[in-house]
């Protein structure tokens, strides 16, 4: 099985549609870095500022490539790194100077932390009215939970989304994908791009306030509408759908699960034929979706018994041939080597400064007829200080050396730093 990343033409690194933008990334862990990675994937210059000990995810076990963890590497490509001591006056001044050269600032500290450090939208926008500032936090910049810490699993649980996930008669479980963080990162990018579009018209930036819990509530979508309309509290969804009984997973003869989404009447009739039960089409219990829903337990028993007669791949082949959406429930070794996934360049490979090779999930935003910009390996901590400070702030070699000698910039040995140093200052999101 081919496990390599797709080999397709790459454009230059500065070819993306956001190549005219510069982003100051003051984020750590997952929600914020995911947002800024999207901006970097689309061509923006992203300058990531970390504490001298670095983003704590650089040290998260169990998997490492070189000196950094796979967790960190998964959400920090296409960025440049500076290590700056924000506890020092000179460090804060340096970051303010950098912010004044940027179109966008993204941060995910707890509300109020940067204000106390003298780094705030109000202060910086006074000097740069076009600045777009995005704050990602657990609960937003106001409200009774404003000052609570939050991580992905917290907001999954608080939103009610976690109560919908799991077997019907089992326990609630978190989503295997960190939806709280990922959704916040995506909504942050939406807010940033909308603010930038308005800035093109008005010349003024704005502050974008993205709360992880808000994003999870928004993603409840029709489940929220069902409850608000009926007052009925939905439970764990298990392997199926609350409205469509033929939108479900079934176990096959080889023990693998197949998912079918036979949503239309045509698909229902085709499904009956593929399963070898054409008589079900005329059965009044299953004549229309509403009837199938009322009699879903009986229907599931018939369908499950049919699926138990053949292996999963054989069923998928027959279902797809009948134009019924179906797939095996893949494990990651299957999905990340799937020929379509590779063709779409959703596994990308970058090479580090010492020859390290890193394969990660790719950028899903494609532009027809354009080569995808090349991806840069995630930066070593502080690796771009000389370049950024000289090019962006016009600092001399001597001035940069003085900042480094005084400890304002430059990495510290992470082997002696406590795990999660400066994390209590409190980024939000992750895990």
Q: What are the C-alpha distances in Å from 17 to residues 36, 325, 344? A: 15, 34, 19
Whether the link from the prior residue into 62 is cis, omega within 30° of 0, is yes
Q: Is-catalytic flag, 181?
A: yes
CB atoms within 10 A of CB 222: 11
Rounded Cα distance, 72 and 408, in Å: 23
Pick the catalytic residue from 68, 181, 214, 384. Answer: 181
The alpha-helical segments, DSSP class H, found in 276-420 are 289-294, 296-307, 312-321, 332-335, 339-343, 385-393, 397-405
Q: Where are the beta strands (DSSP E) in 214-287?
A: 247-251, 257-261
Please compute, for residue 47, the number of CA atoms within 13 A of its CA located in the half-sphere on the CB side. Answer: 28
3-state secondary structure of 45: strand
Residue pair 60/72 in contact by the 8 Å Cβ criterion: yes
Residue pair 411/83 in contact by the 8 Å Cβ criterion: yes
Rounded Cα distance, 35 and 430, in Å: 13
Tokens of 382: 């502080």
Rounded Cα distance, 361 and 342, in Å: 10
Tokens of 71: 């967790």
Q: Please, which residues have CB within 8 angstroms of residue 167's CB and are 6 or more apart in sequence?
A: 236, 238, 239
- Which active-site residues does the annotation give? 181
């Amino acid at each position: 099985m081919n496990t390599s990343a797709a080999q397709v033409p790459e454009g230059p690194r500065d070819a993306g549609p956001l190549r005219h933008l510069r982003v100051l990334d003051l984020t750590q862990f997952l929600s914020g870095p995911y947002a800024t990675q999207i901006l970097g994937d689309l061509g923006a210059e992203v300058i990531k500022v970390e504490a001298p000990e670095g983003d704590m995810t650089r040290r998260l076990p169990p998997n490492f490539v070189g000196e950094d963890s796979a967790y960190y590497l998964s959400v920090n490509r296409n960025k440049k790194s500076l290590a700056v001591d924000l506890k020092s006056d000179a460090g804060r001044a340096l970051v303010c100077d950098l912010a004044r050269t940027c179109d966008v600032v993204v941060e995910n500290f707890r509300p109020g932390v940067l204000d106390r450090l003298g780094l705030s939208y109000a202060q910086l926008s006074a000097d740069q009215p076009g600045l777009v500032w995005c704050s990602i936090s657990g609960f937003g910049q106001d409200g009774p939970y404003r000052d609570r810490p939050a991580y992905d699993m917290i907001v999954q649980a608080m939103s009610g989304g976690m109560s919908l996930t799991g077997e019907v008669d089992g326990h609630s479980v978190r989503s295997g994908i960190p939806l709280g963080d990922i959704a916040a990162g995506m909504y942050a990018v939406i807010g940033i791009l909308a603010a930038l579009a308005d800035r093109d018209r008005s010349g003024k930036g704005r502050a974008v306030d993205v709360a992880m819990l808000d994003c999870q509530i928004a993603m409840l979508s029709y489940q929220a509408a069902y409850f608000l309309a009926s007052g009925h509290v939905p439970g764990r969804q298990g392997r199926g759908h609350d409205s469509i009984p033929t939108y479900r997973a079934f176990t096959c003869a080889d023990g693998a699960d197949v998912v079918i989404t036979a949503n239309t009447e045509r698909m229902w009739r085709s499904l009956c034929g593929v399963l070898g039960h054409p008589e079900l089409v005329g059965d009044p219990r299953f004549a229309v979706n509403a009837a199938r829903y009322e009699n879903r337990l009986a229907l599931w028993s018939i369908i499950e018994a049919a699926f138990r007669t053949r292996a999963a791949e054989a069923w998928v082949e027959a279902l797809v041939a009948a134009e019924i959406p179906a797939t095996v429930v893949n494990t990651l070794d299957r999905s990340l080597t799937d020929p379509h996934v590779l063709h779409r360049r959703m596994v990308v490979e970058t090479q580090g400064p010492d020859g390290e090779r890193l394969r990660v999930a790719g950028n899903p935003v494609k532009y027809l007829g354009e080569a995808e910009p090349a991806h840069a390996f995630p930066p070593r901590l502080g690796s771009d200080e000389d370049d950024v400070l000289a090019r962006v702030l016009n600092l001399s070699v001597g001035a940069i050396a003085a900042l480094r000698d005084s400890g304002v910039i430059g990495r510290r040995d992470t082997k002696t730093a406590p795990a999660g140093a400066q994390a209590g200052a409190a980024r939000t999101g992750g895990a």
